[in-house]
């Protein structure tokens, strides 16, 4: 069997880094002060547990995990993606607590 080209080897290394070593410290995430929309797919190359940790570590963040989706959501679910991102930028940030969750 032919060994992968250097380009393919590099892509595999990058994929591994995205999947298992995001290299974002919790301390760095805590410094983000602006509203943030954290997006991931439930079949994303970035593990959902990392996506959730990122959202939990950013004070003013919303988390959107898209069902049946990978890392290419903007391509394959573009209408839904554009709607959610458009809403995020057009609406003022609000904290969702136990009393305002369904408003």
Q: pLDDT band for 100, please (50, 70, 90 cuts).
A: low
pLDDT of residue 58: 94
Instruction: Take residue 15 and report the two structure tokens written for it.
Output: 């994929």
pLDDT of residue 98: 65
Closest CA to 53 of 14, 86, 24, 96: 24
Domain ranges of the chain: 6-90
Architecture of domain 6-90: 3-Layer(aba) Sandwich (3.40)
For 87-95, what is the mean pLDDT?
A: 86
CB 41, CB 69: distance < 8 Å:
yes
CB 64, CB 75: distance < 8 Å:
no
Only one residue has tokens 């439930």, namely 42
> Measured between alpha carbons, how far is 56 from 62 in angstroms, rounded to an integer?
9
Q: 18-70 pLDDT, tens per residue?
A: 777 767 789 999 999 999 999 999 998 888 888 999 999 999 999 999 999 88
């Amino acid at each position: 069997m032919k060994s992968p080209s250097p380009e393919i080897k590099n892509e595999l290394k990058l994929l591994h880094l995205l999947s298992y070593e995001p290299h974002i410290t919790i301390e760095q995430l805590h410094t983000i002060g602006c509203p943030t929309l954290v997006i991931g797919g439930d079949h994303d190359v970035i593990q959902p547990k990392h996506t959730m940790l990122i959202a939990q570590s950013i004070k003013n963040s919303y988390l959107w995990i898209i069902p049946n989706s990978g890392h290419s959501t903007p391509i394959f679910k573009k209408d839904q993606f554009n709607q959610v991102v458009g809403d995020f930028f057009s609406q003022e940030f609000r904290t969702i607590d136990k009393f305002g969750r369904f408003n």
